[in-house]
Amino acid sequence: MQLENLTKKNQEFVHIATNQLIKDGKSDEEIKVLLEEILPSILDGQKIGLTARSLYGPPTEWAASQTPDTSDGDNLPENDNPWLMWVDSSLLIIALLGFVNGAMNLFTQGAQYGILTFIIVGFGVGAGIYFMYHFVYRHMGDGTKRPKIWKAVLMLLLATIAWSVIFFIANMIPTSVNPVLSPIAYLLIAALAFGVRYLLKKKYNIRNAMQPVR
């Protein structure tokens, strides 16, 4: 194996994963085979700045996934891949915005937003939600890394300001390239976003970025 070519972070990933595999009763040969399967991807990821954790999640959870609980086939570790968590949060925001905007405008003439505004705000707020997870929520269960109250409040304030700026900029897009759709269309977009989010969550078991890690 090419362990000497790994970065310190990736070596740590392999070390923790190996210890977990040993605890799970894997033999030396089984551990060697499992690690040789992922090392090429880890080495390739290093070249573009990706860590083993970003590719496979926490090492203990990856190791646990190699010894599935046969008593419950759905008991899989949550996937904390940043890109998947961002998309998951963004789809939720787009779905909520579409439902609220569509439902309100079916009965009353309220504020209406263009489709590009929806997409930009959805993915912008989704990024802010992951920002809060990365710097605050994922450390809530770790006493040694748990952020201080003032830091958590500061992060929330920064995220709120960023969301406001994104929403303001998105509203400045001219209607010629940002058409307003009918209420029914927005309700359909909401349903589609919910559906796609459900399918992605079911397939990849994506961790909820709005739920603190315990």
Average model confidence (pLDDT) across the chain: 82
In a domain? residue 212: no
> What is the pTM (predicted TM-score) of this model?
0.58
Q: What percent of the chain has pLDDT over 70?
A: 86
Q: How many domains does the chain have?
A: 2
Q: What percent of the chain has pLDDT over 90?
A: 15
Higher pLDDT, 214 or 83: 83
Clarify whether residues 130 and 43 are in a common domain: no
In a domain? residue 12: yes
Clarify whether residues 101 and 10 are in a common domain: no
In a domain? residue 77: no
Minimal CA–CA distance to 7: which of 34, 42, 41?
A: 42
Clarify whether residues 134 and 178 are in a common domain: yes
Clarify whether residues 50 and 91 are in a common domain: no
In a domain? residue 94: yes
Find out whether 146 and 140 touch, Cβ atoms under 8 Å.
yes
What is the rounded (10 degree) CA torsion for 183, 188, 194, 197? -120
In a domain? residue 56: yes
Give the integer Cα–Cα distance in Å for 150 and 146: 12
Tokens linked to 7: 């970065």
Higher pLDDT, 77 or 107: 107
The 10s digit of each residue's pLDDT in 163-209 is: 788 778 877 888 888 888 888 999 999 999 999 999 999 888 888 88
Predicted local confidence at residue 214, as pLDDT: 52
Predicted local confidence at residue 200, as pLDDT: 92
Clarify whether residues 169 and 90 are in a common domain: yes
Q: Which residue range forms the structural domain that includes residue 173? A: 82-204
Find out whether 36 and 1 touch, Cβ atoms under 8 Å.
yes
Number of Cα atoms under 13 Å in the Cβ half of residue 146? 9
Give the integer Cα–Cα distance in Å for 130 and 85: 7
Last residue of a domain, one of 31, 65, 99: 65
The 10s digit of each residue's pLDDT in 110-159 is: 667 788 888 998 998 898 888 888 877 776 654 445 556 777 678 778 87
The 10s digit of each residue's pLDDT in 42-80 is: 888 888 888 888 888 888 888 888 876 544 444 557 788
